[in-house]
Amino acid sequence: MTRNILLMEGPDSKGLVYHVTKVLYKNDCNIINQDEYVSPAGQFFMRTEFESEKKFDAEIVIADLRKRVPNEDVKFRLNPRKKKDIVILCTKEHHCLSDLLIRYHFEELNANILAVISNYDSLKPFVDKFDIPFHHVSHVGLSREDHELEIMKVVNGYQPEYLVLAKYMRILTPYFVAKFSNKIVNIHHSFLPAFIGANPYKQAFDRGVKIIGATAHFVNNNLDEGPIIAQDVKKVDHRFSSKDMSREGKDVEKMVLTKALKLVFSDRVFIFGNKTIIL
């Protein structure tokens, strides 16, 4: 008995669910979980988990599906669920990085951490403990573009499926972002869209908010404006300095980033326009 996953996305039309379930039925597959969503604009998304007793031939199933759903705008992905290869970018703060390293070390993260890159070297001794390559790519004396080229060289040596910005505190150029379209996950230390930009905890302190938060999102051209994957918050009060908020917010940041990555790495996150659909 094997467990398989089928992801499907495209313009809605009558009978999509029927066609898929028919193909699965004919291939002796039993559906265990099926979650489906049609957006107001008519985009169809479906995630189907199914079991197969007999030998399961993915190619035949995909061909069958295409025969019944000839519209090429409808995309199928069958069994993408394997460990994702990722590279992590960070600066000086450890909390998101260390949470990921620990989960990776104990095989709780559905990913292979191929390397860690930082524009500082302060986290190198820590990363070394986990036998993961650490690359110090300093930005000192380099233009933003030249620094990014250095980073890109290192990244490209690993061919990762995802780049994780685990508190990487530098702004990326549209050029860089375009190279990894829908493949960069960032953690921003506010509940976006509040406090876009630099120093969100300072902004939160100045505004006197009673709640702080964190947002994990894909990065597209405009920093802090990509599709949101996960958000969470924490209550604060007048006794919190912006430094206190920053310290207490770190736990929210790391939990939100990890939660978002778990969803992404288990192929539950569809991107559509500026939003995510999570099935």
Active centre residues (catalytic): 224
- Least spacing, CB of residue 45 vs a copy of itself, in Å: 9
Say which DSSP state 194 is in.
Answer: T
Measured from the CB atom, the residue of 144 and 234 that comes closer to a copy of itself is 234
CB of 238 to a copy of itself, least distance (A): 5
Nearest to 253 by CA among 207, 176, 192: 192
Q: Are 274 and 221 in contact (CB under 8 A)?
A: no
Q: How far is the CB of 124 from a copy of itself (least distance, A)?
A: 14
* Closest of 97, 160, 157 to residue 129, by C-alpha: 97
Smallest gap, in angstroms, from Cβ of residue 198 to a copy of itself? 15
Distance CA 73, CA 218 (A): 23
C-alpha triplet 63, 66, 71: angle, nearest 5°: 160
Which amino acid is present at 127? V
Of the pair 1, 140, the CB lying nearest a copy of itself is at 1
Is residue 87 classed as helix, strand or coil in its secondary structure?
A: strand
Nearer to a copy of itself, 149 or 271 (CB): 271
Q: Is 207 left (phi over 0), alpha (psi -120 to 50) or beta?
A: alpha
| Residue 226 CB contacts under 8 Å (≥ 6 apart), including other chains | 186, 217, 218, 219, 220, 274
Closer by beta carbon to a copy of itself, 49 or else 150: 49
Q: What is the CA radius of gyration of the chain?
A: 21
Per CB under 8 A, residues contacting a copy of itself are 12-18, 21-22, 24-25, 28-40, 94, 98-99, 102, 105-106, 126, 129-130, 191-195, 206-211, 213, 227-233, 237-239, 241, 251, 255, 274-278
CB of residue 154 to a copy of itself, shortest distance in Å: 25
Q: Which is nearer to a copy of itself, 161 or 248 (CB)?
A: 248
